[in-house]
A and B are shown apart, each in its own frame.
Chain A
């Protein structure tokens, strides 16, 4: 059974079919790429499967469970975490606290236990610190744990966003243009990180990307969106040599 199975997904904004009868099937452990020209509906698709928008029609199955129409919080709990095209960190919080916010639903104690500093507060906070530092170490951010998130350099902010998403222990990780604004060196590092995450966290990853050098190296399978519709899908090399895809990207 596929981890994510989307069938006939559509959303209309007025007369605009932003995503039109789109289907996708992602197996567990796959590194899947979603590409397409600007305005093709890629981010809209992410917003649909994370519950930011409610689809006009179609179904979304995660691990066999129907999550169509659920809200963002329920979908995160069901096992989808994401990063954003324009970085959205908790700016005033430290790097460590950003990750700990991601751990929020996995390590619990009540507000009263926090206010009165009961034993469970210390125990849970300690466990959270350890888990968060372990995650930060993976992204080579553990030295900056006490730095304010907004003071991190751009590349590290992107990494922190991935770490925060992973902290929720998702089954599926969505990356929205992870390499946007990165220099070639940072992009190369990011590719390593993405592979590392997939292998060491047993993660399934779906990413949107414009950087073809990253897509062709990292992704195993691709789907191409054009004007909200599926243009073609399949193995990366086959898709990238498809004349229709080249036309969509480069024009005739």
Chain B
């Protein structure tokens, strides 16, 4: 069974390197935090970094593994954020313990997003390529706009809901506003912190790797590589497309819950198409299909504009664009790529030679 161990190895090796890298980075960040050497701005970025990484990894399942272009990521994040935050603000008194309340909120937000993911996926996944991208973009915008016009209040009589205006709810004057239209949701407990966000990121990465290297992941990749052949060996195309789409939505929803519990106010306008495009940029530049790449791209590309803000201020978006273009060239231009690999191989060869020399 020599061959077998050779076959299983690359997967586990790949994933364990990623887990180790993540834990190493986490430990270093925690150490810096403990010594109080981190600027306030960097500290405020820690949770969003985890959130963006989760979003990028989850979108990579649809874009890289299933091979379909989806631009609805912000919409699913919005559903997760709203349902999670709503649960937490309603249950603040009933479940005062954040350690109990927050996991339930995360799960609930994820499940709501997954439900919508599957419901939207049923009609939408019949489309392919550009058309799927357009329709998912539209669904994302619809979700955002519905959330932005949502009014929910509670008084002695119970809940009042409207999608027109606050006055339309017919709530008693002493009632409490929970969701206030475009102003969003106030009073979400600040349950997110770096440790929780990191643990969820780690779980997301584990789920993503385990999903890809399983029976389901293999079926999904078979469908991506050749739909007709996949059908001919009896793979149910619709089922596996929906599972992937649902899992992507679930993880996006989870990211949304963490995001919403990081700020006391939540506004739907944050979840516009810019967010979806941003996540797609992470996935594409990190390498389509590469889970580790998604995390690295999400972290690097979120940090760059923030670091540039400190040094060159208003010109930062200009430089950010230049960096994006440079990254695009390096990752997709075969000539440049070949040259870079040639150099790295040379370097590796030099190192090996030195080592051999030592042995002699």
Contact = CB atoms under 8 A, between A and B. Distances in A.
Q: Do A and B bind each other?
A: yes
Interface of A: 50, 52, 71-73, 76-77, 81-82, 84, 88-94, 96-98, 100-102, 104-105, 107-109, 111, 114-117, 121, 124-125, 128-129, 133, 142-143, 145-146, 164-165, 167-168
A88 B215 contact: no
Given A115-B211, A116-B210, A145-B3, A92 B225 contact: yes
Given A76-B233, A81-B232, A129-B7, A97 B218 contact: yes
A229 to B, nearest CB: 27
B224 to A, nearest CB: 8
B226 A114 contact: no
B217 interface: yes
Contacts of B225: 89-93
A165 B231 CA distance: 11
A93 B222 contact: yes
A88 B4 contact: no
A73 B210 contact: no
Nearest to B208: A115
Given A90-B225, A145-B3, A114 B210 contact: yes
A104 B234 contact: yes
B266 interface: no
Contacts of B207: 115
A89 B232 contact: no
B202 to A, nearest CB: 14
Contacts of B217: 114
A89 B3 CA distance: 22
B210 A84 contact: no
A167 B235 CA distance: 13
Contact of A89 (B218, B229, B243): B229
Contact of A81 (B3, B221, B233, B243): B233
Contact of B216 (A111, A129, A168): A111
B216 A114 contact: yes
B233 A168 contact: yes
Given A101-B219, A101-B222, A167 B233 contact: yes
B215 A90 contact: no
B330 interface: no
Contacts of B214: 111, 114-115, 121
A121 B11 CA distance: 15
A110 to B, nearest CB: 8
A213 to B, nearest CB: 28
Interface string B260-271: 000000000000
B230 interface: yes
Contact of A101 (B4, B228, B233): B233
Interface in B230-273: 230-236, 243
B282 to A, nearest CB: 21
B4 A109 contact: no
B215 A107 contact: yes
A124 B214 CA distance: 10
Nearest to A167: B233
B353 interface: no
A133 B6 CA distance: 13
B234 A168 contact: yes
Contact of B222 (A76, A90, A116): A90
A173 B233 CA distance: 12
A81 B232 CA distance: 7
Given A116-B210, A164-B233, A90 B216 contact: no
26 contacts: A71-B231, A72-B234, A76-B232, A76-B233, A76-B234, A84-B232, A88-B226, A88-B228, A90-B221, A90-B230, A91-B226, A93-B218, A101-B233, A102-B233, A111-B211, A114-B214, A114-B216, A117-B210, A124-B215, A128-B215, A129-B7, A143-B3, A146-B3, A165-B233, A168-B233, A168-B234
Contact of A111 (B221, B226, B235, B243): B243
B327 to A, nearest CB: 23
A131 to B, nearest CB: 12
A114 B215 contact: yes
Contacts of A71: 231
Contacts of B219: 101, 104
A76 B229 CA distance: 11
Listed residue (B7, B225, B233, B235) with the most chain A CB atoms within 10 angstroms of its CB: B233
B226 A142 contact: no
B276 to A, nearest CB: 25
Contacts of A125: 215
A94 B225 CA distance: 12
Given A90-B226, A125-B215, 8 more contacts: A82-B232, A88-B232, A93-B221, A94-B7, A100-B218, A111-B216, A114-B214, A115-B210
Contacts of A121: 214
A23 B211 CA distance: 46
A138 B219 CA distance: 24
Given A93-B225, A109-B215, A146 B7 contact: yes
A95 to B, nearest CB: 10
B233 A133 contact: no
Contacts of B218: 93, 97, 100-101, 104
Given A101-B235, A109-B215, A88 B229 contact: yes
Nearest to A130: B4
A84 B229 contact: yes
